[in-house]
Amino acid sequence: MSSKENDIEAGSRNPLSGGRGAWKIAVIEGDGIGPEVTKQAIRVLNAVAETFKHEFEYNYCLMGADAIDKTGNPLPDETITTCLNSDAILFGAIGHPKYDNDPTAKVRPEQGLLKLRKSLQLYANIRPISTYSSLFHLSPLKSKHIEGVDFVIYRELTGGIYFGKKETAADGSYALDDCTYSREEIERIAHLAFQHARRRKKKLTLVDKANVLETSRLWRKVVQELAPEFPDVAVDYMFVDNASMQIIVNPKQFDVIVTENMFGDILSDEASVISGSLGLLPSASVGKGSALFEPIHGSYPQAAGKDIANPIGSILSAAMLLDHLEMKDEAQVVRDAVNWTLLNSFVTKDIDPVNFYFTSTIGELISDFVCGKVSGPVNNENIELRKSTII
């Protein structure tokens, strides 16, 4: 199958294949549950390809603990090259407990991801936070607070304290991590966030610590200067300590949040629990190079290989990937399929520890929905036997 000519013309991005062949997707399965959830996302992408007559070419590459085990390097050069030559990157998860409690480790899986973000200049991490009424009971917040919650966090991803000068004194008596931001680094992500707010509820909140930090004062200045270009977007400013409280007490007030790297890392994990399961949430990292799509959950090593992890975060990341490649209808079908499984209680163990379905069964159900094979009632008995979903 080849990509439809008009699909490509309709998109703002042409595939590297020049519109003649397949969309090139770099696949980094990574660590822990990464491989098994990514496998289900690919199954769903294949269902999309079949239904909409697209072609996806997958190029697998290594990163993280898996890459260290196999090559000694958390981000082999081939991975960077493959990613640079792709239309998009699908990534699973990173991290292994053997590195977490060893502060002296010289090589760490996470270095791979940080280097990839920097190499591809993926400066904006986008994390949508939405809720599902069928899962309200799982949220640590009361239903009345979460009904209608729908916001998106724009986290700066290639600057700030993550990438500043790092040093530890030779005698171990002190250590430092510098935090620097340039005007340009702030402007480019603020632009994206303003544009997104314009397409949504037209509200942008800059989260910073401008009462204490110079970098935050620069963020505020730059955002204030940009605001007149977006007169239809209401801008407000919130200190990060207050924001962390507001996300819990009144998450409905937010539309688009923009913030620096470290604050965004922390706030996006905090916000992710609102929906009831960390396993559901996708993310996109965009910038100058090919964009990367990954579920926000970690590598969850305790569940690895057991077929119990929730593949929906990865599947919805694939939906964001389709959106990014301007396949809007395709992305919507995947989202409809996910909603259908949740409404019918076809869920993994994190959502229902008693009556749960396997990772692979959820992937199969969602793929069947995308292919239009699921139209009527579903044979639960067969699903439990993991055979077939169709009567």
Active-site residues, by number, are 162, 209, 241, 265, 269
Strand 234-239 relative to strand 23-30, pairing:
unpaired
Q: What, of Mg ion, ligand IPM, none, does residue 94 touch, CB below 5 to 8 Å by kind?
A: ligand IPM
Closest CB to ligand IPM among residues 113, 383? 113
> Which residues contact Mg ion (rule: CB under 5 A)?
265
Q: Is the dihedral of CA 36, 360, 91, 76 positive or negative?
A: positive
**Closest CB to ligand IPM among residues 15, 95:** 95
**The binder of ligand IPM chosen from 80, 113, 223, 337 (CB under 6 A):** 113
Answer yes or no: are the C-beta atoms of 274 and 1 closer than 8 Å. no
> If contact means CB under 5 to 8 A according to the sort of partner, which of ligand IPM, Mg ion, none does residue 110 touch?
ligand IPM
Radius of gyration (Cα) for the chain, nearest Å?
A: 21
Residue 129 binds to ligand IPM (criterion: CB under 6 A): no
CA distance 7 to 312: 26
Of the pair 44, 309, the CB lying nearest Mg ion is at: 309
Please, which residue, 15 or 128, has the CB nearer to ligand IPM? 128
Min CB(110)–ligand IPM separation in Å? 4
The residues with which 286 forms a beta bridge, in sequence order, are: 124
Burial class from Cβ neighbours inside 10 Å (0-12, 13-18, 19+) for residue 390 reads middle
Question: Are the C-beta atoms of 366 and 315 separated by less than 8 Å?
Answer: yes
Nearer to ligand IPM, 193 or 383 (CB): 193
190 binds, among ligand IPM, Mg ion, none (CB under 5 to 8 A by kind): none
Is residue 326 within the footprint of ligand IPM (CB under 6 A)?
Answer: no
The yes or no reply on residue 265 touching ligand IPM (CB under 6 A) is: yes
Q: Which residues contact 320 (CB under 8 A, 6 or more apart)?
A: 126, 282, 283, 284, 293, 331
Closest C-alpha to 189, from 140, 143, 222, 228: 222
In whole angstroms, how close is the CB of 298 to Mg ion at the nearest point?
8
Residue from 55, 110, 187, 307 binding ligand IPM (CB under 6 A) = 110
Report d(CA 90, CA 28) in Å as an integer: 6
Name the minimum Å distance from CB 64 to ligand IPM.
9
Site size with ligand IPM, rule: CB under 6 A: 6
Should residue 94 be labelled a site residue for ligand IPM when binding is judged by CB under 6 A? yes
Q: Are strands 166-168 and 175-177 parallel, antiparallel or unpaired?
A: antiparallel
Contact region with ligand IPM (CB under 6 A), list: 110-118, 205-213, 217-225, 241-249 = 110-118
Give the three-state DSSP class for 125. Answer: strand
Per the listing, tokens 């020049």 go with: 18
The binding site for ligand IPM (CB under 6 A) comprises 94-95, 110, 113-114, 265
